[in-house]
Structure 1
């Protein structure tokens, strides 16, 4: 199968380790592209809800695929989010082509691009962390119930529905929060002379031009791999929103889980170090990509 070339791939809010994560679909998508640089923009592994009792083979396969990109010296930038915030203490850490950073500033074809997860602008996150974690558990439970409902619905020949989307769309406060989030992010980006600002966090894929008092800026959000199954791609001087549900090629990719061996985290890291054969001080940055 011929793979598509993608200059920059931005993924966020995958939430590996949770019942709502669509790891199989993500893996199918990843196997159809050849990215030159990857930005993992937060909430990749859900540490908040991580359980040793739930780590399916497909979740490990996603991790191994990303490790494979690092082994091939593809620049991979990991920007921790609120669900994997423990990695923020490792800001500046480099292992081959992998770099952990809290934000990223890129110069792409003379345009300045600012990338960060976005939870810093979430009032609930900043002042009521326990409430945010409780909400995350409730959200994951809702997604689990939703998957069971959709299974029954499909057996009956009906289409899928999204309970969480219906809840969000019916609550004015949620819509107001998203709008305020986007306006705040764009205002700060424009004030700092950025042409583009890219976030995750709110699970709402978006690409639009926003005019602020400091000027206009293009706002992009990569969405998530819980409900929307979306990512951001930069190819041929253009940013686009990728949607798995609109990609018949990815949906036809066969994922053979039986051929995959289950490895412990320790064994996986040992395998990674052996494969890379590098030390933590070496690095490789693609021309035009500057980590902040």
Structure 2
């Protein structure tokens, strides 16, 4: 397979060690690219659902592909998320071209880009809500298994595939995380901090949007996931591109522009969130 040269690649929410993980597709994707920098933006390993009884060959292959990129000279930054939060005790670990971080700010062609997983903005990752988040995550994994069985029956009957799990996950995040508020809050804070771009994951919603208010403009990007959407962010030709994996073919998405209302996030909230990050 011929590799595509890419300056920077950001992926998140792979959830290795779960039935939901699209490990085969992700391994194929890794074999198709040759990035200078690969950022694994959280929830790569799933500590919430991890079981020593389930870690198939395809998941091991993903790890091997990542190590192969390292061996080929790719710099890799692993940013921890809530599902792999156990790794946060090793934050700032440096091993050759590999770094383990909680967040990172990088300059790309003169533009400051702020990258973090995003769970700090989600109350389902904190306190008692974390328990319910884990419970919902386990139920979602069971639903994915049921969804696969349904799709096998649909294919046998000559019908199109259905995604019950995607519908449930979209409804869950709309109620609990409130995606638009999540995106707006992050964009407001990024403008306050004077970043040009902000990248996160966590909510499994691939996105590229430009937010603006009286204080400035920021490009908000979300790398989506490798559970349902199979998406990645790639930087080349001096711009970020959102791609979707489809049998080895990547499809670019259009950018939407959103005008922010004044004072969506107050200075007090911005200062508090800044202290968390």
TM value normalised by structure 2: 0.86
Is 1:242 paired with 2:243? Answer: yes
Q: How does 1:73-84 map to 2 (within 5 A)?
A: 73-84=73-84
RMSD of the alignment, in Å? 2.0
Q: How does 1:1-292 map to 2 (within 5 A)?
A: 1-127=1-127, 128-169=129-170, 173-174=174-175, 177-245=178-246, 247-248=248-249
- Alpha-carbon spacing, 1:175–1:165, altered in 2? closer, same or farther (3 Å): farther
RCO comparison, higher one (Cα < 8 Å, 6+): 1
* Partners of 2:236 and 2:36 in 1: CA distance: 10
Whichever structure has more strand as a proportion of its residues is 2
| Superposed displacement of residue 150, structure 1 | 1.4
Partner of 2:263: none
| Superposed displacement of residue 167, structure 1 | 2.7
- Unaligned stretches of 5+ in structure 2? 251-276
| Superposed displacement of residue 17, structure 1 | 0.4
Partner of 1:252: none
* Partners of 1:106 and 1:201 in 2: CA distance: 20
| Superposed displacement of residue 73, structure 1 | 2.8
Q: 1:169 touches 1:175 (CA, 8 Å); kept in 2? A: no
- Alpha-carbon spacing, 1:170–1:109, altered in 2? closer, same or farther (3 Å): same
Partner of 1:270: none
* Partners of 2:35 and 2:173 in 1: CA distance: 38
* Partners of 2:121 and 2:147 in 1: CA distance: 28
* Partners of 2:135 and 2:168 in 1: CA distance: 17
Q: 1:73 touches 1:96 (CA, 8 Å); kept in 2? A: no
Deviation string for 1:244-289 (max 9, x for gaps)? 127448xxxxxxxxxxxxxxxxxxxxxxxxxxxxxxxxxxxxxxxx
Count of aligned positions: 251
